[in-house]
């Protein structure tokens, strides 16, 4: 990962910490999941109801070895989340930065910090990918700037990093 950072001439921003999500983060994660841009940029655009979210989140935290969720904190304040879901020999990314903090580089930072954590945790993955809607310019920019490889499909881009 240091090599990747060096190659990209990117430096991690100050005062950032990426930590595991815990059950107390449940309402914050629901609020972020139902953020208008998040729903609009997601492939399932319906609002998520609280009971379904709690059931889903509990299960992910307690039973699932195939999901890892992390919270990005800026000076101890949560500003975003990244989730990795295992698929076959790789994993898929979903990520979010709270509205007031977008466009400041935190999106790229959360991917870099998250990728570093996940390749240390899941030693046997061969790739990390993200599916991005064609009109989601900020997300596309993040993955292109981080040198993920782009594949274009009629309704989405797939960005992939081989690890």
Ligand X SMILES: CC(C)(COP(=O)(O)OP(=O)(O)OC[C@H]1O[C@@H](n2cnc3c(N)ncnc32)[C@H](O)[C@@H]1OP(=O)(O)O)[C@@H](O)C(=O)NCCC(=O)NCCS
**Cβ atoms within 10 Å of 154's Cβ, excluding its own:** 5
Q: Which residues pair with 106 in a beta bridge?
A: none
Nearer residue to ligand X within complex by CB, 109 or 125: 109
Q: 153: which 2 tokens? A: 């499909």
Q: Is 81 in the site for ligand X (CB under 6 A)?
A: no
- HSE (CB half, 13 Å, CA atoms) of 119? 14
Under 8 Å between Cβ of 71 and 19: yes
Q: Which of 6, 58, 141, 162 binds ligand X (CB under 6 A)?
A: 141
Q: Which range touches ligand X (CB under 6 A), out of 5-13, 22-30, 68-76, 91-99?
A: 91-99
Closest distance of CB 147 from ligand X, Å: 14
Alpha-helical regions (H) of the chain: 2-8, 26-33, 36-40, 50-62, 106-121, 137-145
103 contributes a contact to ligand X by CB under 6 A: yes
Q: Does 85 bind ligand X (CB under 6 A)?
A: no
The answer to the question of residue 160 lying near ligand X (CB under 6 A) is no
Q: Tokens for 51, please give them.
A: 């009971």
130 in contact with ligand X (CB under 6 A)? yes
- Report which residue's Cβ sits closest to ligand X: 107
Give residues 18-57 in contact with ligand X (rule: CB under 6 A). Answer: 37-38, 41
Q: How many residues bind ligand X (CB under 6 A)?
A: 21
**Which residue, 135, 120, 83, 80, is CA-closest to 102?**
80
Q: Can you give the binding site for ligand X, defined by CB under 6 A?
A: 37-38, 41, 95-97, 102-108, 130, 132, 136-139, 141-142
């Amino acid at each position: 990962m240091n090599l990747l950072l060096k190659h990209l001439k990117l430096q991690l921003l100050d005062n950032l910490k990426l930590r595991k999500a815990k059950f107390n983060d449940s309402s914050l994660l629901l609020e972020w999941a139902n953020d208008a841009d998040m729903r609009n940029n997601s492939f399932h655009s319906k609002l998520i109801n609280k009971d379904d979210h709690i059931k889903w989140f509990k299960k992910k935290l307690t039973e699932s070895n195939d999901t890892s969720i992390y919270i990005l904190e800026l000076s101890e304040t949560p500003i975003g989340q990244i989730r990795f879901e295992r698929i076959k020999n790789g994993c898929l990314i979903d990520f979010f930065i709270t509205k007031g903090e977008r466009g400041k580089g935190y999106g790229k930072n959360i991917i870099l910090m998250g990728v570093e954590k996940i390749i240390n945790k899941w030693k046997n993955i061969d790739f990390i990918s993200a599916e991005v809607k064609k009109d989601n310019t900020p997300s596309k920019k993040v993955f292109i700037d981080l040198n993920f490889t782009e594949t274009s499909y009629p309704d989405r881009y797939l960005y992939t990093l081989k690890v």
